[in-house]
Amino acid sequence: KAKYLPKVSSGEWVAAFALTEPTSGSDANSIRTRAVPSKDGKHFILNGGKIWISNGGIAEVFTVFAQTPVTDPVTGATVDKVSAFIVQRSFGGITSGPQEKKMGIKASNTTEVHFDNVKIPKENLLGEYGKGFKIAMAILNNGRFGMGAALTGCMKGLIAKAADFAGNRTQFRSKISSFGMVQEKLARMAMKCYAAESIAYLLSSNMDRGTEEFQVEAAIGKIFASDMAWEVADECIQIHGGMGFMKETGLERVVRDLRIFRIFEGTNEILRLLVALTGCQFAGAHLKDIQKAMTSGDVNKTLDAGWKTLFLGSLAQNGGLADTVAPELALSAAKVTDCVSQLGLTVRSMLMEHGKGVIHKQFQLHRIADAAIDIYAMTACLSRCTAAIQAGAPTAEHELILTEAFCADASIHASAQLNNLKNPDYRDNFLRFERLSEHIVANGGYLTTHPLGF
C-alpha cells in the first residue's frame, strides 16, 4: 500500500485490472495465463495474455490474475489455482495492443495486454497463494456496487432532458407533457430511478456498518440499475421523437455507453444465476436441518415450524412489515410480505422437484432471480420512503407516490413470474425454447422457409 497507493491515487500512475481472457469471460476460473515460481524462489514468471483491459495501454500497475501450481500437503497432488499479483510495466515483458474500437465508452482506453516471461518479485503476490479468485470476486463486488450508484446519476440526467422536452414541446395545441402516454413514461422513469438509487443507499448503509457478505445485494443493484437505465434511456429517446434519434441531442451516445453495463463486471445473466442459486443454497441447507430434526422429537411440530420459518418467512409469521414502515406504506408493505411468502413456497417446490439438479434449471432460476430482485427493490423503497416521511422531508409526499406506484408494479411482476412457474402451459414453453434454440444453432440462423416459396 505504501509503495503503490500514493502514486495511483495522485494520478502519477494509472492502474488496471487484468482478468478477462479470450477463453474466459463469465467463467473467470478458466483463465490460462500462468505464473510459476522461479528456480531460485525469488520471482514468479508470468506468461499469457488478457483482453479488453481498461487502461490497458496506459497503465503502469496491473492487478493480474493467473493460474499457479498449488501442491496439496496431504495428497501431494498438484493442481492449478488462481493467484493474484501486482505487476508493474517496468518489470519488462509487458506489451499492449492497439485501442479497441468499441460501440461506446470510447474515452476508456481498452486494449489487449500480453505478458512474456515477466519476472514478478515474490512479495508482489497479492493475498494468499492460490486464493486469487476470492480477491477477483471481491473487486468485482465493489465495482458492481459503484455501477448501481453511478447509473442513478445517468437516469437523473435522462429524466431531466425528457422533462424539459415534454414540458416545452407543443403538439395538437397542447404540451406533450399533458398526454397520458408521455406522463406514464415520465412516471415510470422516475420510479425506476428512485428504486435503483434506494438500492444503492441501502447497500452502502450496510457496507458502512461493516457487512462483509454483500455479493448478492451488489449483484442485485448492478442488474437492476443497468436494466432500468437502459429502459429509461430508451424512453427518453421516445419522448423526444425524431429529435431523440439525432446525434445533436446527445442521447445516442448515452445509449451506446450504457449498453456495456449489462455485460461487464459480470453479465446480468450470470448475476441472476448468482442471486437465485445463493438463495436456493440457503434454502437447501435449511431443508437438511429440518430433515435432521425429524429424527427426534415431534416430527409434525418440527416440520410445521421449519416450513413456516423457511418458506413462509418470518415476515408472515410476525405480522409482516407493518410495524417497521410508516403507516402510509402499510398496503405496499403487505405486498412485499405476500411476495416473500410466494417466493419461499416456489423455491421449496423447485428444490423438492429438482434437488441438486436445480443448478441446471436456468429458465426457472431466471424468474426466481427476477422475483427476488423485485422484492429487494421494494424493500429498499419502503425503507427510504419511511425515513423521508419520519424526517418530514420536503419530498416525502412525492416519494410516497413513487414507492406506492413502484411496489404496485413490482409486486405484480414478481407474483406473475412465480405463478408462471406453476403454470403447466408456461412451463411447456421452456421445452419449446430449448428445442427452438437447438434448431436455430444447428441451422446457423433463422430456418423458416419464405411463405411465398422463394
- Cα(197)–Cα(83) distance, rounded to whole angstroms? 35
The answer to whether the CB of 58 falls within 8 A of the CB of 99 is no
Helices (H), 355-423: 362-391, 396-420
- Contacts of 110-113 with C-beta under 8 Å, sequence gap 24+, read 110/52, 110/53, 110/54, 110/56, 111/53, 111/56, 111/57, 112/49, 112/50, 112/51, 112/52, 112/53, 112/56, 113/16, 113/18, 113/49, 113/50, 113/53, 113/56, 113/62
Residue 161 grid cell = 432532458
- Cα(344)–Cα(364) distance, rounded to whole angstroms? 14
| Catalytic residue of the set 265, 328, 404, 434 | 265
CA 11 to chain centre: 29
- Cα(247)–Cα(256) distance, rounded to whole angstroms? 12
As to burial, measured by CB atoms within 10 angstroms (0-12 exposed, 13-18 middle, 19+ buried), residue 143 is middle
Beta bridge pairs of residue 387: none
Dihedral sign, Cα of residue 303, residue 304, residue 309, residue 313: positive
The answer to whether the CB of 18 falls within 8 A of the CB of 82 is no
**140: nearest Cα among 83, 198, 215:** 215
Q: Dmax over Cα atoms in the chain, in whole Å? A: 83
- Cα(79)–Cα(65) distance, rounded to whole angstroms? 16
- Cα(276)–Cα(417) distance, rounded to whole angstroms? 13
Our answer to whether residue 265 is catalytic in this structure is: yes
Helices (H), 78-174: 132-168
Residue type, 307: W
- What are the DSSP calls for 373-384, one per residue? HHHHHHHHHHHH
Residue 354 grid cell = 429438482
* Secondary structure (3-state) at 128: coil
- Cα(15)–Cα(243) distance, rounded to whole angstroms? 39
Q: Which residues are catalytic?
A: 265
